[in-house]
Structure 1
Amino acid sequence: MVYSYSWIICFFTCTFYLHLGTSQSPVETKFYDILNVSPYSSVDEIKQAYRKLARKVHPDKNKDPKASEEFAELNRVYEVLSDSEKRKRYDRCGESCIKDEKGSGSVDPFSSFFGFHFGDESEQQRETPKGATIVMDVYVTLEELYSGNFIEITRNKPVMKPAKGTRKCNCRQEMTTRQLGPGRFQMLQQTVCDECPNIRLMNEERIIELEVEQGMVDGQETRFVAEGEPHIDGEPGDLIIRIKTLPHKVFERKGDDLYTNVTVSLQDALVGFEMEITHLDGRKVLISRDKITWPGARIRKKGEGMPLYDDNNKRGTMYITFDIEFPKGDLSQEEKEGIKRILNQKSNNHVYNGLRGF
């Protein structure tokens, strides 16, 4: 009778778990609706939908007070649907399975009775291995950061391809039980591996489109999910592209402001001048002075700096510092006297510590 009873338990247990694993459609579609995808979408389709929505609701771009909550919810949904095991649990019994770390809102009666876990729960506790994340610097011009641009990046990426034979994968330690006699059981730990189709890694050329958004700052990162290094037994890592700014011949960026220097002749410095500066988008910015300009004088043009990343309708300030070009050569005595009469300045030589500002 003891052996009959054990066979009944085994039959009931296997039937119970097989029934859970053969569900054809998810009992709940809330997470799929948030991503605007079908419950039968592929992993790539889910990743593309997440990337599109993440850019739209990110708190840095969306000033809605609820943006942070929406972004957090979007990440939670993506974490579930991008993980094969979590997605299976969600499809099987909805959000209630995800809230519990073990993937079930109730205690398994057979686990509590015999003191061990069956295969489904041990699988749920395993984390899906992931390939390495790659960080790559991309150098962009100040013009691109001002106006925005799309850059195509060509990358040779290792891609998994089918190969002959099979391989052991997803190896893990699991507990098994062995019946020693009537009413006696022994728990043993053993290594269990899946038999998976063999694969090989081959380099393929991939084109990645990077959007350089207006107002992005030096060091800002853009993450491409699953575009990193592959993992032979898991999911590929991510690719992070980091913005680096190339030096510019005319402008220096500090925060959202632009700085530049202009050299004018001594004559223009004394009588005034009018000139144009070519901006980063090709526009002409008018600069005029109708009074004396001294070396180191600075003017500012509000709204002519960099566009703000959070709000492209707003811009920083452009600061223009002037240098004076003095004429070369000697002046005649008559010219010197004429300059003295025009300037009408008294000699006021003052020696001081310029570093301390006395």
Structure 2
Amino acid sequence: MVKMGKDYYDILGIKKGASEDDIKKAYRKQALRFHPDKNKSPNAEDKFKEIAEAYDVLSDPDKKDIYDRFGEEGLKGGGAPAGGGGGGCAGPGNFSYSFQGDPHVIFSDFFGGRNPFDQFFGARNGGPDEDMDTEDPFARFGMGGGGMGGGMGGFPRSFSSGMGGMGPHSSIVKKPQDPPVVHDLWVAMEDVLSGCTKKMKISRKMLNPDGRTVRTEGKILEVQIKKGWKEGTKITFPKEGDQTPTNIPADVVFVVKDKAHRVFKREGSDIVYTAKISLRDALCGCTVNAPTLDGRTVTVSTTDIVQPGMKRRVSGEGLPYPKRPDRRGDLLVEYEVKFPERLSQSVRDTIAQVLPRS
């Protein structure tokens, strides 16, 4: 059975299998109910953010598909649970999701950049109507339970079409999202061995409170590099791109790149060390003290003649497996034979007598 972690469906008050329209209606109701401008309970802000995260996942087909199959752990890069989630489904691969969005921006985007409290109920001292029913703020207009279609409970259709994208088919709701902003994230092999946190500073445009003008500000995004992550792993920060009055901000995506190492090469979860040996050692056998990623050395001996391309494997001295970070790949010792630059005639004669011609 898939361990779900957070139950995004329960957070929105819907059942698994809910339609896209049901998800929108549920978000609309819950977000208005727990918006901190209206709901003064101590946990309203946390609940409001949790609702935004649930909507961000369930409204995106790709994220929703991974969550439905692998739960929160699989969605956030923990890998598929044992058994692959049932039914032979493939795991989430290199996908990793981390909710770093601003729930207030998501709320503003959903309502077309306008404040629904001010629009419907009027403001007093800069806040929403204190007598509004937080359970269903649209009930007094005959719009309870998300009945937002055609005329919106007695309002003329021309009025409802301009109400900040409130209708599920409104063109304002379907503002285009900017394409993802992709950055390379160079990671050292030692960081892949132990895991780490990278702090990445981005610069982006932010809407001012007037909803029309923008300012430029910096933000630090914390990227959790997990043990064993492979090159090409993507970490997505939803809607952290530029804000404008007419767009949905782009997702900011970091793509893991392997930083070149001075000693090792990487082959998946294995690492390769090249040992330089003499021709004599290649023919007569040798012992190599091979380094490890964590600063130790391991002894690798061979009595065989070293053939071209020959490697020796040291189990468990490589990098962690991405989906099984408690286990590690291997250290591969490959040999590079150093040939002498010159030989005396007597040595040549001796070799000619000792070595077979074929």
TM-score, normalization by structure 2 = 0.57
Identity rate, percent: 21
Give the aligned residue type for 2:314.
Answer: K
The separation in 2 between residues aligned to 1:115 and 1:105, in whole angstroms, is: 11
Determine helix, strand or coil for the equivalent of 1:292.
Answer: coil
User: Of 198, 223, 232, which residue of structure 2 is paired with 1:219?
Assistant: 232
Contact 1:131 1:229 in 2 (8 A): no
Check 1:45–1:256 CA distance in 2 against 1; reply closer, same or farther (3 A cut). Answer: same
User: Of 334, 351, 354, which residue of structure 2 is paired with 1:321?
Assistant: 334
Superposition deviation, residue 227 in structure 1: 1.3
In structure 1, runs of 5+ residues without a counterpart are: 1-20, 28-36, 95-101, 163-196, 349-358
User: Of 258, 283, 292, which residue of structure 2 is paired with 1:245?
Assistant: 258
Tell me the alpha carbon deviations over residues 246-265 of structure 1, each in whole angstroms, 9 at most, x when there is no partner.
Answer: 33333332332333432201
Equivalent positions of 1:217-296 (< 5 A) are 217-232=230-245, 235-296=248-309
Check 1:263–1:40 CA distance in 2 against 1; reply closer, same or farther (3 A cut). Answer: closer
Contact 2:29 2:136 in 1 (8 A): no
Where does residue 186 of structure 1 map in the other structure? none
Q: State yes or no: 1:138 paired with 2:185.
A: yes
The separation in 2 between residues aligned to 1:307 and 1:229, in whole angstroms, is: 36
| Higher Cα radius of gyration | 1
Where does residue 129 of structure 1 map in the other structure? 175
Contact 1:262 1:322 in 2 (8 A): yes
Equivalent positions of 1:9-88 (< 5 A) are 26=33, 38-41=43-46, 56-58=73-75, 61-64=78-81, 82-83=106-107, 85=110
Determine helix, strand or coil for the equivalent of 1:146.
Answer: helix
Check 1:44–1:289 CA distance in 2 against 1; reply closer, same or farther (3 A cut). Answer: same
Check 1:275–1:347 CA distance in 2 against 1; reply closer, same or farther (3 A cut). Answer: closer
Give the aligned residue type for 2:258.
Answer: T
In structure 2, runs of 5+ residues without a counterpart are: 1-27, 35-41, 58-66, 117-133, 138-144
Superposition deviation, residue 146 in structure 1: 2.8
Contact 2:269 2:330 in 1 (8 A): yes
Give the aligned residue type for 1:247.
Answer: A
Q: Indicate the RMSD between aligned Cα atoms, in angstroms.
A: 4.7
Contact 1:158 1:202 in 2 (8 A): yes
Superposition deviation, residue 116 in structure 1: 8.6
- Answer with 318-327 or 306-315: which moved more: 318-327
Determine helix, strand or coil for the equivalent of 1:253.
Answer: strand
Where does residue 155 of structure 1 map in the other structure? 202
The separation in 1 between residues aligned to 2:242 and 2:31, in whole angstroms, is: 32
User: Of 213, 219, 244, which residue of structure 2 is paired with 1:206?
Assistant: 219
Contact 2:31 2:51 in 1 (8 A): no
Give the aligned residue type for 2:204.
Answer: K
Superposition deviation, residue 60 in structure 1: 5.0
Check 1:199–1:281 CA distance in 2 against 1; reply closer, same or farther (3 A cut). Answer: farther
Contact 1:224 1:240 in 2 (8 A): yes
Determine helix, strand or coil for the equivalent of 1:145.
Answer: helix
Superposition deviation, residue 221 in structure 1: 0.8
Where does residue 354 of structure 1 map in the other structure? none
Give the aligned residue type for 2:242.
Answer: E
Superposition deviation, residue 224 in structure 1: 0.9
Superposition deviation, residue 296 in structure 1: 2.9
Where does residue 300 of structure 1 map in the other structure? 313
The separation in 2 between residues aligned to 1:275 and 1:24, in whole angstroms, is: 64
Tell me the alpha carbon deviations over residues 152-200 of structure 1, each in whole angstroms, 9 at most, x when there is no partner.
Answer: 11222222234xxxxxxxxxxxxxxxxxxxxxxxxxxxxxxxxxx3543
Determine helix, strand or coil for the equivalent of 2:319.
Answer: strand
Superposition deviation, residue 309 in structure 1: 0.8
The separation in 2 between residues aligned to 1:273 and 1:41, in whole angstroms, is: 63
* Higher RCO structure, 1 or 2 (CA under 8 Å, sep 6+): 1
The separation in 2 between residues aligned to 1:23 and 1:250, in whole angstroms, is: 55
Give the aligned residue type for 2:267.
Answer: K
Superposition deviation, residue 230 in structure 1: 0.9
Q: Give the aligned length.
A: 265
Which has more strand, going by share of residues? 1
The separation in 2 between residues aligned to 1:313 and 1:105, in whole angstroms, is: 51
Where does residue 312 of structure 1 map in the other structure? 325
The separation in 2 between residues aligned to 1:155 and 1:227, in whole angstroms, is: 9
